[in-house]
Amino acid sequence: MNISQLAEQIQIGERRSIARGISLVENESPQALELLRLLFPKTGNAYRIGITGPPGAGKSTITNKLAFLYANQNKKVGIIAVDPTSPFTGGALLGDRVRMTDVEMNANVFIRSMASRGSLGGLSKKTKEAADIFDAAGFEIILLETVGVGQSELDIVSAADTTVVVLVPESGDSIQAMKAGLMEIADFFVLNKSDRPGAEQAVMSIKTVLGLATRYAQHTEETWIPDVISTVGNEGKGIEKIAEMITKHRTSLERTNQLTNKRSERIEERIRELVTEKLHQNFWNESRETMLRNEIASVLSHQRTPYDAVEELVENVI
Amino acid sequence: MNISQLAEQIQIGERRSIARGISLVENESPQALELLRLLFPKTGNAYRIGITGPPGAGKSTITNKLAFLYANQNKKVGIIAVDPTSPFTGGALLGDRVRMTDVEMNANVFIRSMASRGSLGGLSKKTKEAADIFDAAGFEIILLETVGVGQSELDIVSAADTTVVVLVPESGDSIQAMKAGLMEIADFFVLNKSDRPGAEQAVMSIKTVLGLATRYAQHTEETWIPDVISTVGNEGKGIEKIAEMITKHRTSLERTNQLTNKRSERIEERIRELVTEKLHQNFWNESRETMLRNEIASVLSHQRTPYDAVEELVENVI
């Protein structure tokens, strides 16, 4: 099967072809770019939902129950579970995933795990490309799930139309930290495991921070104000409220033209990434690699600084 | 004071000038590059030690006690404490740091915290540049401390000559994950808080993994084999053993010419980073930014794919 045949099979939603397409993207196959180019005209219909939070917050459970809910509404749901395999936390996510066979057996749901295998560089890019494949294959909902341990991981969910941040009562300390970066990415918060002690207080704390953060923002009737939803993921409690809030947020984005803005920004980011990649490929030809070897030797012997070496390499280029 | 005066002051070790130089680097000031260019000829004498591990492993304590030990040998020690401010873990490191006034008061020690403020991109680069400033200022030992929560953070310590990974008995689960990425970066392990239950078992587990990992590697008498050191950082127990192991590793690197190789690789990486930056700067001039706006509009209306847009932008360049 050649790439244009593969693209056709993906567009009719053939599952093994979808899997193969995502594998091409994941392995950075030279054919991936051509596949994505062929599929692009069919993208733009899926709604992308990012789900993040600290390890152990129950993101997988919520993602899976949410997928079930959409699947029961007869929607096709793609899940991309990103596992950054931090050497200190790695593996847990994929471990959980294996047990969720009930979701995997659902004909409307397609789960794909993506691990970074040592390098996070490019994981955010690959996740977005995999989402494009689901999109072109006619999936209406795409769930992007990732543990929020570092900034690069958060980049992944910022590729979503709606971003949900999952916390637990125990992440009380995190609320302090929320001021740092979560406010910028969260469209709303979920306090999961809310049957545990301290849940009410945690909700109050989040609301306080949210209040402080949005108080000085310019408000109109259209302004989206993040809220908190309490859930008990294991028992399926509150999942419908999450779905409702996602719909509400989507409606707000559409009404205010922000959905188009978001997608425009995503396209811009994508083009810039691809330009960087291409400039890099074009620049580092054999003769420049040879020049580089010589420059390294000069720098190592302190005859030249790396800064002068770069000037020399880039001279007369572009 | 102009930049060449600042460079001179840094070279004689003037503390406020060092602080100012690092601030220029941290804020990505346009003057930073010129400063680094002037200082480069004076670099290459400092030994760089990376210290990483999961949150709560006691990295700050160990870093500070180690700094004290070197300072008492009358060596000048620079500490760069990198705080990636993950929204879920952020702030803790800098909090600890404030309490370590005894170290800060030592005339031989200079502590600098670097936070990412939302973006990890460039933090690894800035850390290396700050280390170059310490190096040019005559610091003999540079300690790079970072919490190992994601790959980008680990990139920071891989900029070191010797990398120490700190674990605690409770990180038993992590030992499984060690196979993933730690083996590649750790020159040796420290099991801190080794007065806690499970310490002996943890040491055994690490040794087992180390044994498995190194068994199939080609061995000569020169081959460095990572080991485990038990410490109780709070009580200062085992800090000398860490210093001894660092010396042993350094000697091994020097004897096998690997220190030069490491530094050569670091220079190569630095030049490649700077080239990427420069290509990027040169490419995105005003006319290309205008082209980009038009391309985004075409892509958004599905008249063109992002892949074709990139072809058009990069055409005839380089």
Which tens digit of pLDDT belongs to each residue from A67-97? 999 999 999 999 998 876 555 544 444 444 4
Which chain B residues are closer than 8 Å to A85 by Cβ?
177, 180-181
Nearest Cα residue to B169 out of B145, B147, B138, B191: B191
Which of the pair, B267 or A121, is modelled with greater confidence?
A: B267
User: Are A294 and A180 in the same domain?
Assistant: no
Residue A147, CA distances (Å) to A61, A94, A266, B117, B156 in order: 13, 11, 21, 19, 21
User: Are B187 and B245 in the same domain?
Assistant: yes
Q: Is residue B274 part of a domain?
A: no
Shortest CA gap B154–chain A (Å): 9
**Which of A185, A259, A275 best tests the B interface by mutation, with the highest count of B CBs <10 A?**
A275
User: Are A308 and A185 in the same domain?
Assistant: no
Which chain A residues are closer than 8 Å to B124 by Cβ?
none
The per-residue pLDDT for A305 is: 94
Six-digit token pair at A33? 């770019």
User: Are A182 and A98 in the same domain?
Assistant: yes
Structural domain of A169: 43-256
Shortest CA gap A64–chain B (Å): 23
The per-residue pLDDT for B178 is: 56
The per-residue pLDDT for A91 is: 43
Domain boundary pick from A241, A256, A271: A256
Nearest Cα residue to A95 out of A166, A147, A22, A144: A147
For the entire predicted model, the pTM comes to 0.79
Residue contact A300–B264, C-beta within 8 A: yes
Whether the per-residue pLDDT at A149 is higher than 70: the answer is: no
| Residue in A with minimal Cα distance to B117 | A180
Q: Is residue A107 part of a domain?
A: yes
| Residue in A with minimal Cα distance to B168 | A88
Q: Is residue B139 part of a domain?
A: yes
pLDDT digit string, tens, across residues A27-36:
888 899 999 9
User: Are B8 and B57 in the same domain?
Assistant: no
Q: Hey, how many other C-beta atoms are within 10 angstroms of the C-beta on A101?
A: 9
pLDDT in tens, chain B (318 residues): 899 999 999 999 999 999 999 999 988 898 999 999 999 999 999 999 999 887 788 998 999 999 999 999 999 999 998 876 555 544 444 444 444 556 667 889 999 988 765 444 567 788 999 999 999 999 999 999 987 655 556 677 668 999 999 988 886 555 554 545 666 788 999 999 999 998 998 898 888 877 766 666 666 767 888 899 999 999 999 999 999 999 999 999 999 999 999 999 999 988 998 999 899 989 999 999 999 999 999 999 888 999 999 999 998 665
Residue where the block lists tokens 């993906």: A10
Q: Residue B291 class from Cβ within 10 Å (0-12 exposed, 13-18 middle, 19+ buried)?
A: middle
Six-digit token pair at A108? 């409307």
Nearest Cβ partner of A278 from B272, B274, B310?
B310
Q: Is residue B263 part of a domain?
A: no
User: Are B103 and B241 in the same domain?
Assistant: yes
| Residue in A with minimal Cα distance to B285 | A318
Nearest Cα residue to A18 out of A90, A88, A80: A80
**Which of A33, A147, A151 best tests the B interface by mutation, with the highest count of B CBs <10 A?**
A151
User: Are B29 and B164 in the same domain?
Assistant: no
A307 touches chain B (CB under 8 A): yes
Query: What kind and span of H or E run contains B287?
Result: helix B286-300
A–B interface: beta-carbon pairs under 8 A: 215
CATH code for position A144: 3.40.50.300
Residue contact B318–A180, C-beta within 8 A: no
Residue where the block lists tokens 């008498």: B221
The per-residue pLDDT for B254 is: 94
Nearest Cα residue to B209 out of B240, B184, B243, B234: B184
A281 touches chain B (CB under 8 A): no
Q: Is residue B290 part of a domain?
A: yes
Q: Is residue B2 part of a domain?
A: yes
Residue contact B318–A282, C-beta within 8 A: yes
Residue contact B276–A280, C-beta within 8 A: yes
pLDDT (mean) for A43-53? 93
How many domains does the structure of chain B reveal?
A: 3
Six-digit token pair at A146? 């990732």
The per-residue pLDDT for B91 is: 43
The per-residue pLDDT for A101 is: 57
A264 touches chain B (CB under 8 A): yes
ipTM of the complex model = 0.81
Q: Is residue A23 part of a domain?
A: no
Q: Is residue A106 part of a domain?
A: yes
Lowest mean pLDDT among A144-158, A278-292, B41-55: A144-158
User: Are B122 and B239 in the same domain?
Assistant: yes
User: Are A165 and A302 in the same domain?
Assistant: no
User: Are A147 and A293 in the same domain?
Assistant: no
Residue where the block lists tokens 């210093």: B243
**Which of B147, B282, B298, B318 best tests the A interface by mutation, with the highest count of A CBs <10 A?**
B318
A220 touches chain B (CB under 8 A): no
Q: Read off the pLDDT band of A213 (50, 70, 90).
A: low
User: Are A124 and A208 in the same domain?
Assistant: yes
The per-residue pLDDT for B215 is: 64
User: Are A216 and A134 in the same domain?
Assistant: yes
Per the prediction, chain A carries an average pLDDT of: 85
